Structure 1
């Protein structure tokens, strides 16, 4: 695979960049955090999508992009001299992913899933394989030397893709365990065949015995049913006779009860007749006493008329006194209200009419001042945070000196220490000046805000006072109008009541005579009511006489009916003992029938259960016959899986045995070139420990200096990339080295760059990503990533901006 060009729009901190990628040693430099790694991430993202991103999809699009702008990356590349172009973009507010891939001018795939599958087939690599083949990081070089032997072997197996074969072997072993469990279960089930045959034979014999008992059970049921019918017929006849006997007995009891009621009614009527005779005598006596009633009523009416005139005059006097008192109170309230209204108007005149508008304007000015103060303070706090951070960084640099570690590559700063410290001091001084200027502005705004707040408080007080006074004025004026109307109404009422009092004459009332006449009239009216009540009751006297005669006739009729019913009851000749005997016989016959039917039901259920059990055993027999055939299939499958597992394990061992010498051979050539022939051979032992040939024998890399150790690991890492690209059929490819110069001196750096340049027949393109500035003149092509004051980064190729 060969890269041709990379076009970036709004990807992370890079707003726009178009990068030609020639077959040269390309250096990518810039300060930590500028976005160097974003260039590499863009290449992986355009090919493999969001799985290549360091964060979620929401953070891929540049935060500096406009609302209508998309995030878009286009990569032109070749595979086996065939040109391809792939474009991936995030579109719209929801950042929907779109991707398309062209082979020459023809579209090969459109869509996320289709393109991902196409890229995997085209390159012969998934995303992890792509990273292992084309990207080498400092952390991976450290891992190759620092890991324990077993973990180093696993790490290399993962990089070389052997772990996928291991996962296949593990999956095959799991399938084999499940197959063996299934076979064991089926063999256990088939061991029950002998017991099942014996059960089927037993159930067949039992069904034959049940069939023989069927006839005798059915005969017993029929005989019991006939006996029950015979006794039931006799019981029905006796029941009919008993029903007639019961009915006649009830009729006799009813007639006897009616006779008793008639006798009681006759006695009650006689008592009522005697009582009415006494009432007739009382009514005659009261009639003589009531002759004086009309005269007493006329005298009492005269006294009531005189009392009414007296009450009317008293009422007028009371109303007149109340009206005069209310008029006096209202007049006083009017005078008080006039004084209060005058005071309120004076208070209103002392406050400006536009005080509310003044308050509103002052409120707006105060809000503007608060907003400005908050913004200025937020900016000042941000500057203080940055200053604290820089102060800590300077302190760390001063404390540890050249051994201070870069927060990106975790390597000592070394010779870069003075430049970096000077840059940090300059930034810190600039921040302190800005902090002092912001503190002065804050103090000035705080003082102005205090004056505005006092002005606002005074205007707010005046506004509330004027509002309350205006409310009081309106209320007082309304109350004055109400009181004036009330005064007019009361004056009119006093005049009318005075006139009515003058027109009402005074009357003398005899209270003693009025009381005596009232008591006399009450006694006479009570006597009149008693007489009317007696006369009403005497109206019933003829009715009582007639009803007494009719009751005597009914008594004679009831006695005759009772005699006739007794004669019919004697003629029935009903015997209760005979009826009880038949009932006992019926119960016994029914018990015999229930017993016979119970035996029949039990026999039927026994047949059903036995037949159901027989059917289940036959079904189990068929299932076992089927399982016997399936068991043979599972045993054959297990045999094949076991053979396949052995073959895969042998193939894994063969693969490891073949790869280790190839990696050692590739690493030896690279290490010899990069050390100028000082070290000509390296090997990987059985534990994948890296060993270097020196002075006639192999030594572990821990014997050599840190720079030589890193160089050896770099050669091994490049050998892995070469091996993977060869296995994928990519004869000409590229490689990206991320921060691999951390511990190398200038001579080693020069040697590494020169050695990498000699690998163009294998890697036409080599991209070196680093924050080390002194490789600027040692690479064939230079790409710089520089942060801007606006927050995003610009990309410069050979001193020319490409954004």
Structure 2
């Protein structure tokens, strides 16, 4: 463990002391009672907590400090490849490893530092942190027990265990090697098997060469016959192609013969129809005049239908124009009313912001007061527990017990100390009951918060109504613009229809 920095705030004699440790050995010199041992006690207290302090938890507070003032010790150390910084007070602790927070509870910080150092509280105080009057613990041990104790504390046991495991592994490998060597066959038998395998391999190679010679002879014969085979395949393909062309030509001849017969028949029928038409021409002359008269009547009928359709459209457009004009009269001019409504919405939103701020202020005050009361109540409960434990220890030890602050026997001051602790318990009880009632009073939201919320809800309702009016006016403005556009379009179409009607009346009859 490497010491880097130590700071004490309201810890016994030290109101605010900070020491930076350099490399090498650091000596601390001073008269009795100046706080040399307190520095060592503060280091142990930062690592192991209350179990490392002389006396109870409250006894470490500086006597000149105000009641309930903060007691804090900060220690920076290096262990192995990591750097640690621990900050401990009476009620909380924080541990940083390489600048990262790894624990923030009293018990957790102590456990992690014990694992990092590899020592419990007792082991640490009986070895590296042994006081002058506490060396009797090790001197009372027998040499064998002292060796075992130091080996366990300094980690020598792990080296011995590793050596035992290495020897066991070495013996196991040697036994395994002997077993493998015992399982090997006779060398002469292996040589005979190898010669037999070589003979079988030589025979296989000879057979392979013979097969390869036969394959090459077959490939040569195939190469000689390949041109003949390709020529016969070409002849076969040509023959099949000519046979397909012949069948196609025969089908074309049959189709041409059938088409010739059909055309010959149609020509005969056309000649007969022409002779019949010549005979009927005198009778068809009146029919042509009637067809022309019918075409004229149909044209007049279509024109009349178009005129009636346009008149119907014009009448419908006139009704639409009247409806648009009536609707525009009902809508009026919503622009001025819309501006007034929007200004009203802005004013209501301002009021709503103030109401919400008032609600938030009331809620923040209520929550702060409730949390403050709960915190003070919990602190008084912990203080009551500590004072009660201190009183019980003093009662158990009697007048011969040590003072929790100076560690001297109480003697004649026994009753006075008990009276002082009883008065402290009574004061803590009175304050605790007060804050208990205060917590119960603050369990429900106060009337001022409810009134502020009601006022905010009323402003929100008023804002909803005003926003609705703005929406209605915007819709009316949009509808008015659309109605004006549709009115202009209807008037334009009506003018076009009237113009076409006038042109039709002035046209040729």
Asked if Structure 1 and Structure 2 have the same fold, meaning a TM-score greater than 0.5 normalized by the shorter chain, the answer is yes
- In the alignment, which residue of structure 2 is the partner of 1:123? none
Structure 2 residue matching 1:354: 3-state secondary structure: helix
- In the alignment, which residue of structure 2 is the partner of 1:22? 30
Identify if the C-alpha distance between structure 1 residues 160 and 402 changes in structure 2 by more than 3 Å, giving closer, same or farther. Answer: farther
The answer to whether the Cα contact below 8 Å between 1:12 and 1:60 also exists between their aligned partners in 2 is: no
In 1, Cα distance between equivalents of 2:386 and 2:72 = 28
Q: Is structure 2 residue 204 aligned with structure 1 residue 198?
A: no
Identify if the C-alpha distance between structure 1 residues 403 and 295 changes in structure 2 by more than 3 Å, giving closer, same or farther. Answer: farther
- In the alignment, which residue of structure 2 is the partner of 1:697? none
Q: Is structure 2 residue 204 aligned with structure 1 residue 177?
A: no
In 1, Cα distance between equivalents of 2:455 and 2:233 = 113
| Structure 1 residue 322, shift from structure 2 partner | 0.9
Alignment of 1:428-443 (within 5 A): 428-433=429-434
In 2, Cα distance between equivalents of 1:213 and 1:34 = 99
Query: Residues 243-299 of structure 1, C-alpha deviation per residue, up to 9 Å, x if partnerless?
Result: 698578658846864674476356435523532432432451475457658645533
Q: CA RMSD in A?
A: 6.0
Identify if the C-alpha distance between structure 1 residues 196 and 283 changes in structure 2 by more than 3 Å, giving closer, same or farther. Answer: farther
Relative to structure 2, which stretch is displaced further, 288-297 or 193-202?
Answer: 288-297
| Structure 1 residue 232, shift from structure 2 partner | 6.0
- In the alignment, which residue of structure 2 is the partner of 1:464? 464
1:135 to 126, 129, 132: 129
| Structure 1 residue 437, shift from structure 2 partner | 7.0
- In the alignment, which residue of structure 1 is the partner of 2:353? 360
In 1, Cα distance between equivalents of 2:211 and 2:180 = 46
- In the alignment, which residue of structure 2 is the partner of 1:330? 324
Question: Can you give the 5+ residue segments of structure 1 that lack an aligned partner in the other structure?
Answer: 1-5, 64-70, 72-88, 96-126, 510-803
The answer to whether the Cα contact below 8 Å between 2:10 and 2:16 also exists between their aligned partners in 1 is: no
In 2, Cα distance between equivalents of 1:489 and 1:434 = 79
| Structure 1 residue 307, shift from structure 2 partner | 1.6
| Structure 1 residue 372, shift from structure 2 partner | 1.5
In 2, Cα distance between equivalents of 1:32 and 1:185 = 62
| Structure 1 residue 308, shift from structure 2 partner | 3.3
Structure 2 residue matching 1:22: 3-state secondary structure: coil
The answer to whether the Cα contact below 8 Å between 2:85 and 2:97 also exists between their aligned partners in 1 is: no
Number of aligned pairs?
A: 425
| Structure 1 residue 373, shift from structure 2 partner | 1.5
In 1, Cα distance between equivalents of 2:323 and 2:123 = 106
Larger relative contact order (CA 8 Å, sep ≥ 6)? 1
In 1, Cα distance between equivalents of 2:244 and 2:478 = 90
The answer to whether the Cα contact below 8 Å between 2:8 and 2:17 also exists between their aligned partners in 1 is: no
Alignment of 1:684-723 (within 5 A): none
Relative to structure 2, which stretch is displaced further, 443-452 or 268-277?
Answer: 443-452
| Structure 1 residue 215, shift from structure 2 partner | 6.6
Q: Is structure 2 residue 78 aligned with structure 1 residue 49?
A: yes
In 2, Cα distance between equivalents of 1:475 and 1:192 = 101
In 1, Cα distance between equivalents of 2:495 and 2:211 = 121
The answer to whether the Cα contact below 8 Å between 1:366 and 1:449 also exists between their aligned partners in 2 is: yes
In 2, Cα distance between equivalents of 1:171 and 1:197 = 44
In 1, Cα distance between equivalents of 2:292 and 2:255 = 50
| Structure 1 residue 315, shift from structure 2 partner | 1.9
Q: Give the number of the structure whose alpha-carbon radius of gyration is greater.
A: 1
The answer to whether the Cα contact below 8 Å between 1:356 and 1:463 also exists between their aligned partners in 2 is: yes
In 1, Cα distance between equivalents of 2:6 and 2:221 = 110
The answer to whether the Cα contact below 8 Å between 2:387 and 2:425 also exists between their aligned partners in 1 is: yes
- In the alignment, which residue of structure 2 is the partner of 1:272? 262
Identify if the C-alpha distance between structure 1 residues 312 and 166 changes in structure 2 by more than 3 Å, giving closer, same or farther. Answer: closer
- In the alignment, which residue of structure 2 is the partner of 1:654? none
TM score, norm. by length of structure 2: 0.60
The answer to whether the Cα contact below 8 Å between 1:355 and 1:462 also exists between their aligned partners in 2 is: yes
2:179 to 188, 196, 215: 188
The answer to whether the Cα contact below 8 Å between 1:129 and 1:159 also exists between their aligned partners in 2 is: no
In 2, Cα distance between equivalents of 1:159 and 1:245 = 106
In 1, Cα distance between equivalents of 2:147 and 2:421 = 37
| Structure 1 residue 379, shift from structure 2 partner | 0.2
Identify if the C-alpha distance between structure 1 residues 499 and 396 changes in structure 2 by more than 3 Å, giving closer, same or farther. Answer: same
Structure 1 residue matching 2:7: 3-state secondary structure: strand
- In the alignment, which residue of structure 2 is the partner of 1:371? 364
Structure 1 residue matching 2:424: 3-state secondary structure: helix
| Structure 1 residue 314, shift from structure 2 partner | 0.5
Structure 1 residue matching 2:17: 3-state secondary structure: strand
- In the alignment, which residue of structure 2 is the partner of 1:32? 57
1:299 to 280, 293, 298: 293
In 1, Cα distance between equivalents of 2:499 and 2:238 = 95
Query: Residues 354-409 of structure 1, C-alpha deviation per residue, up to 9 Å, x if partnerless?
Result: 33322222222221221121111110111222344455667778999823999x9x
In 1, Cα distance between equivalents of 2:256 and 2:458 = 107
| Structure 1 residue 199, shift from structure 2 partner | 0.9
| Structure 1 residue 212, shift from structure 2 partner | 7.7
Query: Residues 636-682 of structure 1, C-alpha deviation per residue, up to 9 Å, x if partnerless?
Result: xxxxxxxxxxxxxxxxxxxxxxxxxxxxxxxxxxxxxxxxxxxxxxx
